[in-house]
Structure 1
């Protein structure tokens, strides 16, 4: 299978590296396309054997699958300035946030469109991607797409495209929420007199360990919390302060605000 990546930025290059790492494609079947002509040589060195082009020089794309990995705000620049025509049997996979399938179909004048919402841990091959497809995409084609997406972590197919706004808010934006909480914990540590690098070590290792306990325990989250929060103890004092300040409700409102903004961008 031949793949073209339209938008050779962080996410586009990350996907490409995963495809090559797991030998899903051969280097010579990968075509990377960048808007910035000055980056062609640099990208070529990172991907020996692959074709690398500047967007303005592309007159034809021979690939079976074209991944649209440009920023959403660059979408209209691409459709207004592309000098190539899509073939009927080529498939488009969009990883642009907020741009719906119908809009992609309209502006590219092309029916075979799959839309996916990855998150930043895909850069390490530990991401999760929600994806959906236009009507008429065959099951074998979807399975092929899923193989490529799974090389960057895990993927989940969604029947309803509207759920991608929730996926954007929950997992697409999700890493930033964890960074925000980790940052608050580290700052609390330094306030208590713990040196910053040591506070970072305690917090990051605690987060890593907690993740593995969630993933490997048969207990639900309430039970895991109770295991740590003994009656009258330190954890109970912290949780009581969280409840009094409505931390859980604040987080819920923030995630719903992200979903609302995703819907606004889609429209």
Structure 2
């Protein structure tokens, strides 16, 4: 079942992410937790992070708290990012997939924390092959969680290392060989 162990070495994580740009499509509680973890562990500077949100008050709050850039549009957020984190609610997925369909570059990694969104549905929906599906749990919001994840074969080893680093901001991570284990983690997390 296990393809890799848990993240643990912050210096390795920092070097894995050096120079990377992260875009958060949707800036809710879990996105905020990831951003807070990345910044607290000094894995990325705030200027390497952008988040999209439709509400101006939410964008202003994120800018004030974290010093990150924010934008209203999801396409604008994703443009130029190395990692596009889909951190939206499941009910917004169809609209967001339409907005991003065919817009991601082959080098970009789409990382989804959306419960119930399979790798195949994401691949078809956004028209992109380099995809990671993650199921974090509630303790991840305080940096003490366990994130179970899997990736398409198109995600290379270097990108997998970067995924481990990003998820290390939430606590421990575990890459699994097949998506069924992510589904099991979803059931256990109650998400």
Give the TM-score normalised by the residue count of structure 1: 0.61
Instruction: Indicate yes or no: 2:3 matched with 1:19.
Output: no
Output aligned runs, 1:160-171, within 5 Å: 160-170=178-188
C-alpha separation in 2, matches of 1:159 and 1:56: 30
Query: Which sits farther off after the overlay, 71-80 or 127-136?
Result: 71-80
Matched-pair contact (CA < 8 Å) for 1:105–1:113? yes
Output aligned runs, 1:88-237, within 5 Å: 88-170=106-188, 172-173=189-190
Bigger helix share: 1
Runs of at least 4 residues off by over 6 Å: none
Gaps of 5+ in 2: 1-19
Gaps of 5+ in 1: 174-261, 263-267
Give 1:60 shift: 5.7
From the CA coordinates, give the structure whose radius of gyration is larger: 1
C-alpha separation in 2, matches of 1:146 and 1:60: 20
Instruction: Indicate yes or no: 2:67 matched with 1:39.
Output: no
C-alpha separation in 1, matches of 2:110 and 2:100: 15
Does 1 or 2 have the higher relative contact order (CA < 8 Å, sep 6+)? 2
C-alpha separation in 2, matches of 1:152 and 1:145: 12
CA deviation map 1:72-114 (0-9, x unaligned) = 1110121234598211111111011100011111111100000
Matched-pair contact (CA < 8 Å) for 2:25–2:77? no
C-alpha separation in 1, matches of 2:31 and 2:56: 16
Q: How many residues align?
A: 172
Q: 1:30 aligns with which of 33, 49, 52?
A: 49
Question: How large is the Cα RMSD of the aligned pairs?
Answer: 1.9
Instruction: State the SS of the aligned residue for 1:14.
Output: helix
